A and B are shown apart, each in its own frame.
Chain A
Amino acid sequence: MSILPYLCAGWICLVGLYGAITSRNLIHQALCLTVMQSSTYLLLLAIGYVKGGAPPIFKGVKLGTKAVDPVVQALTLTDIVVSVTVIALILALGLDAHKDAESIDPDELVGLHG
């Protein structure tokens, strides 16, 4: 099994994190979180990958056929669904920030501190 997907997952996670930390735009920040999230997909799919494995659809397939792990795919799907909700919520908050403050720069929202 190649180590490349794991390195990629780590790299994507760090890139997304860097973007989210330095972001001056709430929409951009939400997308950076999505980037970070895609590292989790990559990691999960890499874990379940089997070289030469068929897709995990077992109808009409002989027992003992090599297949990739369906569990991680189910986890990935669940993760997509759950995280879409979170990202939608952050985007909605960005919309409200624009309505109230005419700005979507998180650094300009500072009322709370100390």
Chain B
Amino acid sequence: MNLVLPLPVAIPLLTAAFLVLTDHVAPRPLQDAVGIAGAAGGTATSLIVMVQAQAGEQLHWFGGWQPRHGLAIGIAFAADPLGAGMASLATGLSLLVLVYSLTYMREESRIFDVLVLVFGGAMAGFALTGDLFNMFVWFELMGVAAYALAGFKVEELGPIQGAVNFAVSNTFGAYLILLGIGLLYARTGALNLAHIGHALTVSHKVDGLVVVALTLLAVGFLVKAAIVPFHFWLADAHAVAPAPVCVLFSGAMVEIGLIAIARLYWTIFATPLGAHHLELRGTLIWLGVVTALVGAVMAFLQRHLKRMLAYSTICHAGIMLAGIGLLGSKGLAGAANLVLSHGFLKGGLFLVCGLVLLQLKDIDELRLHGAGKGLSAGAVLWAAGSFGLVGFPFVGAFLGHSLVDEGASATGIEWLQPLLMVAAGVSAAALFRAGARVFLGWGPRDDDLLTEEPPESPSEQTANAPLMASVAAVAIVLGLVASVVPGLEQRTEAAADRFGDQPAYVQRVLHGKPLPGPSHREPFSVKNAPGSSWGFGIGSLVIAVGGAAFGLWRRRLPMLARDAADRWLGPGVNVLKAAHSGIVGDYLLWIAFGTAVLGGVWALTLR
């Protein structure tokens, strides 16, 4: 029984309750201090759990309802290093957000801090729990906090639209998850992940019911993870949410959906569906690749900076899903490293957006043409953050990309990494182009390729820009060094190995047995990353720079080339733009369509 384990959830939630209770009673600075202390406490305890979990899953059975003879009735937190790492990232980002918002978002309402704490605590709970229905509860709790945060500026119309699209799409996803949970409970009589997986493995009965449950659960979590065609809500929610809120959306919430997919696969479905892992791998990888490419192209078509970053998040979520979809520990470790580096880098970039909105009173690439020339801190941070996302050797996302690359070539899927390279390059090209236009004044002032979005009202003037810039700098530096932290790659790989070891997980959770020692094998080291990873990193940078130059100066291309580009790319671009209609009914239809297709494919192949 680990008594620290509930604290990453309990501390932020209790702090939030305290803040509501003392609203209008306690002085403001005290409330700020308590809020930040609460987030810091959550971060510190999740880091402690992460360190403890390296020796084996940490367990906490609430109310002391331990399993007897392998029968789990109680609800447990079961923390492995990756889950605890995700909890640390979520609580850590909420700490950064609270510090950043010390002088920002102040006049709005005190409820902001409360919602951020609840959001962070719920994500930590989701990452730590070992119970399927408990996952659903945390999922809904984080959803409610997130919808409220997305629609925080309700006096404007844009935020209402964004929050409604977000809330309705994700609620639909949540009901699908609940239906899936019901079906699995019907088959196994269990809600504990280890127990469900064990029962399915023993019964040898993998039939239509299990496949339907798999589809419902997968779709529900893929909605959260913003995977095409379930991704539409994400850009709307990000475009309207205040910049610090986007940090949590992009840096942690989307990844929570992905970690749920990984967790469900390895704790429940991996062994029962073991004979079909090739088909599952194929679908997940293709979902990831299509998502990465669609996200990258859509990012390139944006002029609203936060919306651009949102589509770039979709692109990177696709890359992570492709890593997870390799269904091996290398790919999973790569995805986990990408979650870490992307969380900090994208978070930092959103924080720069908040700074831009504060100082330049706008968030639109074209209207801000050259306006950021005096904003050197913002310019440097934007460039560094975008560069980190490219995956250039030894910087930012490189470690994750090279692990995915290694995992892909080990499973004989050599075509994966070139596609992911193109996606990462194109999405970074959008960021480079926007940076060059805003901070350097390059390129023309108008571009009919880019869609105009409603403007966002600037934030209050009392905000402290140096404080905001330094928080953004902390996030971006943490993201940039994520590839070269000594020992990180070995630890992530060991954690991924453990994450995928279902029999050991069952033994540990249901019977409390200590885990067998780690298997000794040659660990991956970023220093001897394969040459292909170097090539892909450099290729991605070339695509990014070339794409940015194309975006800025495509009018200087000869007439013939432009005509050809219009003819070949124009229709596709228009279809993509039209699909992102901003109407929530369309989004639900896409989700329903995606569910039917995915369910159909799995019903045909998983038998």
Which A residues form the contact surface with B (CB < 8 A)? 9, 13, 17, 20-23, 26, 29, 33, 36-37, 39-40, 43-44, 47, 71-72, 75, 78-79, 82-83, 85-86, 89-90, 93-94, 96-97, 100-101, 106-107, 109-114
A20: which B residues are within 8 A, CB to CB?
A: 168, 172, 585, 588
In the bound complex, how far is the Cα of B511 from the Cα of A10, in angstroms? Answer: 37
Identify the 4 closest CB pairs spanning chains A and B, nearest first.
A114-B451, A113-B582, A111-B454, A109-B161
In the bound complex, how far is the Cα of B577 from the Cα of A112, in angstroms? Answer: 11
In the bound complex, how far is the Cα of B162 from the Cα of A62, in angstroms? Answer: 55
Among residues 550 to 607 in chain B, which have CB atoms less than 8 Å away from a CB atom of chain A? Answer: 577-578, 580-585, 588-589, 592
Is the pair B157, A97 in contact by a Cβ cutoff of 8 Å? Answer: yes
23 interchain pairs (CB within 8 A)? A17-B588, A21-B585, A33-B172, A33-B175, A39-B175, A39-B179, A43-B183, A44-B178, A71-B191, A75-B133, A86-B171, A90-B168, A93-B167, A94-B164, A106-B164, A106-B583, A109-B157, A109-B164, A110-B581, A112-B165, A112-B235, A112-B454, A114-B451
In the bound complex, how far is the Cα of B161 from the Cα of A29, in angstroms? Answer: 13
A96: which B residues are within 8 A, CB to CB?
A: 151, 154-155, 160
Among residues 191 to 221 in chain B, which have CB atoms less than 8 Å away from a CB atom of chain A? Answer: 191
Number of B residues contacting the other chain (C-beta, 8 Å)? 55
A26 to chain B: closest CB distance in Å?
A: 7
Of the listed stretches B35-43, B137-145, B259-267, B534-542, chain A binds B137-145
Is the pair B155, A107 in contact by a Cβ cutoff of 8 Å? Answer: no
In the bound complex, how far is the Cα of B102 from the Cα of A42, in angstroms? Answer: 46
Is the pair A71, B163 in contact by a Cβ cutoff of 8 Å? Answer: no
B239: which A residues are within 8 A, CB to CB?
A: 112
Is the pair A113, B451 in contact by a Cβ cutoff of 8 Å? Answer: yes
Is the pair B185, A72 in contact by a Cβ cutoff of 8 Å? Answer: yes
- In the assembled complex, B353 has its CB within 8 A of some CB on chain A: no
* A93 with B151, Cβ < 8 A, contacts A26-B164, A79-B178 known: yes
In the bound complex, how far is the Cα of B178 from the Cα of A83, in angstroms? Answer: 11
Point out the residue from A37, A82, A86, A114 that lies within 8 Å of B147, measured CB to CB.
A86
Is the pair A113, B178 in contact by a Cβ cutoff of 8 Å? Answer: no
* A93 with B163, Cβ < 8 A, contacts A100-B157, A113-B580 known: yes
Point out the residue from B179, B584, B589 that lies within 8 Å of A13, measured CB to CB.
B179
Among residues 111 to 153 in chain B, which have CB atoms less than 8 Å away from a CB atom of chain A? Answer: 133, 137, 140-141, 143-144, 147-148, 151
Point out the residue from B160, B164, B592 that lies within 8 Å of A100, measured CB to CB.
B160
Point out the residue from B147, B178, B191, B582 that lies within 8 Å of A110, measured CB to CB.
B582
* A47 with B186, Cβ < 8 A, contacts A13-B179, A22-B585, A109-B161 known: yes
A78: which B residues are within 8 A, CB to CB?
A: 133, 137
In the bound complex, how far is the Cα of B584 from the Cα of A44, in angstroms? Answer: 28
In the bound complex, how far is the Cα of B180 from the Cα of A44, in angstroms? Answer: 10
In the bound complex, how far is the Cα of B161 from the Cα of A106, in angstroms? Answer: 7
Is the pair A86, B582 in contact by a Cβ cutoff of 8 Å? Answer: no
B162: which A residues are within 8 A, CB to CB?
A: 112
- In the assembled complex, B546 has its CB within 8 A of some CB on chain A: no
Among residues 447 to 481 in chain B, which have CB atoms less than 8 Å away from a CB atom of chain A? Answer: 451, 453-454
Is the pair A89, B147 in contact by a Cβ cutoff of 8 Å? Answer: yes
A75: which B residues are within 8 A, CB to CB?
A: 133, 181-182, 185
* Nearest-neighbor residue (CB-CB) of B573 within chain A: A114
